[in-house]
Structure 1
């Protein structure tokens, strides 16, 4: 198995840990407004979900459909219950798994046009590394936001994934 695919599996595992933790807290904690990087934890989850979708579309060669897909993804998570967020995350994780099944060589370099930053030439592995780093960053936002609300965060450090994987 590719190291970057295992890293992506860590991303999925960590997201699932966050959802399990949020389910153990009072209902709708993800909708509580606060002064933070995002207005609610739900907004962080929506952002993570949309960005995971954007990069999958880009890697799949469907960059021209990203703009038309954004409203669909936004509607999927608008005012969503935690279970709906979790289902959306599971759906995109399954789509990534299908992508991996079709693309054995993750070192293939593709061009990724961006309206502001120009064209990025990067491998699938580079983009997957970004997706995982992006998720890690925002899971940290969620932990900080939970602490603001008086709750602990979920333990999602990579080392805990390694322990989990060794079990």
Structure 2
């Protein structure tokens, strides 16, 4: 699957789930429950910061700094994702097939060194966000709120309409 489809899915699923969270009582975004993070807002803070750090790694920065984004409201979180994703997509559009196969070195937050093809790194951050979107759905279920379908197949169906 080419990067464009994967990235369109990533953007769609991020915004669709945030729209669903935003349609609930505002307190749900910061309500605490048992999961990897204390709340939906903390989960999205993590996803956003990790999207940023992978983006910087994909540009060739070996040890990018960790950035915290303002996720005090769902609206601000959506805007931060949109802004970052526009910047990322503009960069990705400049890459050739050879660029996607280029091996880049990076150091993770634990200090471990890696050398991977840009394409593998891209897939890693898409997969990472999918994992955490599943956790957001778990939060919603703990709050007796139904989730919303965000699997790729739903994106594909909606995109064809």
- Equivalent of 1:87 in 55, 74, 79: 79
Q: Would you say how many aligned residue pairs link Structure 1 and Structure 2?
A: 159
Cα–Cα, structure 1 residues 104 and 20, in superposed 2: closer, same or farther, change >3 Å?
same
Q: Encode CA deviations 1:148-167: one digit per residue, 9 max, x unaligned.
A: 01101121001001101211
- Residue 28 of structure 2 is aligned to residue 29 of structure 1: yes
Unpaired segments ≥5 residues, structure 1: none
**Which shows bigger deviation, 32-41 or 142-151?**
32-41
State the distance in 1 between where 2:46 and 2:21 align. 17
Aligned counterpart, 1:49: 48
- Equivalent of 2:90 in 76, 92, 98: 98
Deviation at 1:107, TM superposition (A): 1.6
Q: Encode CA deviations 1:44-102: one digit per residue, 9 max, x unaligned.
A: 000000000000111112234x23xx2xx31x325x11110001110111111111122
Aligned counterpart, 2:140: 146
* Higher helix content, 1 or 2: 1
Tell me the TM-score normalized by structure 1: 0.88
Aligned counterpart, 2:121: 127
Deviation at 1:122, TM superposition (A): 1.2
Is the contact between residue 55 and residue 127 of structure 1 (CA under 8 Å) also seen in structure 2? yes
Is the contact between residue 22 and residue 74 of structure 2 (CA under 8 Å) also seen in structure 1? yes
Unpaired segments ≥5 residues, structure 2: none
Aligned counterpart, 1:155: 149
State the distance in 1 between where 2:85 and 2:152 align. 18
Is the contact between residue 21 and residue 29 of structure 2 (CA under 8 Å) also seen in structure 1? yes
Deviation at 1:115, TM superposition (A): 5.7
Aligned Cα root-mean-square deviation (Å): 1.6
Cα–Cα, structure 1 residues 115 and 157, in superposed 2: closer, same or farther, change >3 Å?
closer
